[in-house]
Amino acid sequence: MVRLTKIYTRTGDKGRTRLGDMSEVEKTDIRVEAYGSVDEANAAIGVARSGLEHDAIDALLARIQNEMFDLGADLCVPDTGADLGYEPLRVTAKQIEALEAAIDTWNAKLDPLDSFILPAGSEASARLHVARTVCRRAERRAVALQQTDERLNPETVKYLNRLSDLLFVLARIANDEGRSDVKWVPGVSRQ
């Protein structure tokens, strides 16, 4: 368990920070951008949860928020294979399978899409769409890291990809199981 006794350390005052393996990098390092974006996605999920009135979805998102901390920890510790003196947290295929099972379960309650939908409708749906888009940004940052750094657990990108899909499905569930989805009206149809 983590124990924080002091909140500020002053180590970042010069634009540098330490990764989980204690190596020092610039705060603008792509790895820091990746796990920082995961933190943003986690916060957006927290905001989405605050407006939910659906216990099963709230419980699912509570589990996911904890997994997002695991994901951030995974990204924070480069996967060099070196002995760190401890076993770092890593996202696993089982966690991705659990997301896929949740997608399948919730998506079964929805009619198939016949149009693109807008990130709108109920407040809960709109908040879930915001979380989804922030999650997609985190995924893009993790992909960028993956393209420049071989020391990345590939399951992190898969997790973020599935999570954004799940958030899309849950946003539709929050719109009265898709019945209140707001469909996109292409420009030529608005004339």
Instruction: Give the CATH number of the domain where residue 134 resides.
Output: 1.20.1200.10
Q: Could you tell me if residue 162 is inside a domain?
A: yes
**Residue with the two structure tokens 């790895």:** 31
Q: Could you tell me if residue 111 is inside a domain?
A: yes
pTM: 0.91
| Residue 106 parent element (H or E) | helix 93-107
pLDDT of 65 strictly over 80 = yes
Q: Could you tell me if residue 18 is inside a domain?
A: no
Per DSSP, 79 falls in state -
Query: Comparing C-alpha atoms, which of 88, 89, 71, 74 is closest to residue 163?
Result: 71
Neighbours of 67 (CB within 10 A): 20
- Provide the pLDDT confidence category of residue 62 given band limits of 50, 70 and 90: very high
Q: Could you tell me if residue 83 is inside a domain?
A: no
Neighbours of 91 (CB within 10 A): 22
Q: Could you tell me if residue 17 is inside a domain?
A: no
Helix (H, G, I), strand (E, B) or coil at 126: helix
Mean pLDDT of the chain: 91
Neighbours of 125 (CB within 10 A): 26
- Provide the pLDDT confidence category of residue 87 given band limits of 50, 70 and 90: confident
Number of domains in the chain: 1
Q: Could you tell me if residue 131 is inside a domain?
A: yes
Q: Could you tell me if residue 16 is inside a domain?
A: no
Give the structural domain span for 143: 26-77+88-181
Q: Could you tell me if residue 63 is inside a domain?
A: yes
- Strand runs (DSSP E) across 7-160, as ranges? 16-18, 24-26, 117-118
Retrieve residue 184's tokens.
């996109």
